[in-house]
Amino acid sequence: MALNFTLSPALMPEDIVVVQATDSMWLAPAQPEEERYIRGAVEKRKREFRAGRNAAREALAKLGFKGNPVIRKDQRRRPLWPAGTVGSITHTDGLCIAVAALGERYQGVGIDAERSTALSEGLRAKICTVDELAWAGAQSRQTHIDWHKVLFCTKEAVFKLLNPVYCQEMAFRDINVSPVGPGSCSFSARVSASRFPKSIDIIGRYHITNEYIVCATWLIRQHTGAQAQSAHEV
Ligand SMILES: CC(C)(COP(=O)(O)OP(=O)(O)OC[C@H]1O[C@@H](n2cnc3c(N)ncnc32)[C@H](O)[C@@H]1OP(=O)(O)O)[C@@H](O)C(=O)NCCC(=O)NCCS
């Protein structure tokens, strides 16, 4: 169903399973317990939800978690991954991707996909720092990509990674993204809000085509010091 898009295998480290939903995943029902969440929803929402849940199950199976686990959600719409795993789901206009990894290795993962259209002026100012506005403006003049939109997609992915791990909201302007450069397809990010540890060092990659922007991030678990409280434990 995706327009002209095959996800780069280099998007995430090899031990993170990435699944792009197939046509049948968009069409097949989710687990009965999951279907309860979309009872009464419009068809578009049903399809994207099912694609996300079915792709997530495939990712978990590839990780070794067979037996069709149910992926519930919490009151904030966050997917609740089976114990011992972390994951993330995104869907936009015909493209759906789920990623899953082992919790002993990763504290969290985040993925976001957007259409490669320009971000509105209003949103640019709302989500970008002054430095990011200058950087994205300069990059956008040199390429056919709107780099403000890439930053938006990156920050959505970082939000999806951090929100379940720390159970904290964040303003997008508090997420500071440092793209390594258009050529390398990599970025690093830090969160300046004081309620997040200063030491959080997020890395990620993006994959950009004329149709879609996909950003993926991951946080490797540090086995020293206190662990962040997991959303699954609250
Ligand atoms: C929740 C949010 C990240 C969803 O992103 P989106 O681009 O709208 O939609 P996507 O399709 O990429 O992702 C949706 C999936 O993310 C997951 N998700 C939802 N809330 C989540 C959260 N708080 N943390 C992690 N994952 C979440 C769900 O799996 C959802 O799909 P599902 O409902 O079918 O299970 C986004 O709407 C949001 O709230 N962003 C942060 C808020 C913010 O400050 N935005 C500022 C913009 S100016």
Name residue 4's amino acid.
Answer: N
CA of 142 to the centre of ligand 1 (A): 30
127 touches ligand 1 (CB under 6 Å): yes
49 lines ligand 1 (CB under 6 A): yes
Identify which of 98, 72, 94, 96 has the alpha carbon closest to the alpha carbon of residue 83: 72
Neighbours of 30 (CB within 10 A): 22
pLDDT confidence of 226, banded at 50, 70, 90? very low
pLDDT attached to residue 51: 98
Task: Tell me which amino acid residue 35 is.
Answer: E
Q: For ligand 1, is residue 77 a contact (CB within 6 Å)? A: yes
136 has pLDDT over 60: yes
Q: For the ranges 27-36, 65-74, 182-191, which has the lowest average pLDDT?
A: 182-191
- In angstroms, what is the C-alpha Rg of the chain? 17
Average model confidence (pLDDT) for the chain? 91
Cα–Cα distances (Å) from 205 to 128, 162, 184, in that order, read 18, 16, 9
State pLDDT tens for residues 83-123: 999 999 999 999 999 999 999 999 999 999 999 999 999 99
The alpha carbon dihedral of 206, 190, 17, 3 has a sign of negative
- Determine the distance separating the centroid of ligand 1 and the alpha carbon of 117, expressed in angstroms: 19
For ligand 1, the distance from its centroid to the CA atom of residue 160, given in whole angstroms, is 6
* Predicted pLDDT of residue 183: 66
Give the atom of ligand 1 at the shortest distance from the alpha carbon of 112.
Answer: 12
Predicted structure pTM score: 0.93
The pLDDT of residue 224 is 57
Which residue matches tokens 């968009």? 26
**Sequence-separated (6 or more) residues with CB below 8 Å from residue 157:** 88, 90, 110, 111, 112, 204, 215, 216, 217
- Ligand 1 atom 14 nearest Cα: 90
- Assess contact for 140 and 146: CB atoms under 8 A: yes
Per-residue pLDDT band at 50 (split at 50, 70, 90): very high
pLDDT at residue 199, rounded to an integer: 81
What confidence score (pLDDT) does residue 204 get? 95
What pLDDT shows up at residue 48?
Answer: 98
User: Cα separation of 194 and 15, whole Å?
Assistant: 31
> Tens digits of per-residue pLDDT, 156-196?
999 999 999 999 999 999 999 997 765 678 999 999 888 88
Residue 228 above 60 pLDDT?
A: no
Interstrand relation of 72-73 and 79-80 (parallel, antiparallel or unpaired):
antiparallel
Q: Is the CB of 78 under 6 A from ligand 1?
A: yes
Q: Specify the higher pLDDT residue, 48 or 4.
A: 48
Q: How many residues does the chain have?
A: 234
In eight-state DSSP terms, residue 173 is: G
Helix (H, G, I), strand (E, B) or coil at 221: coil
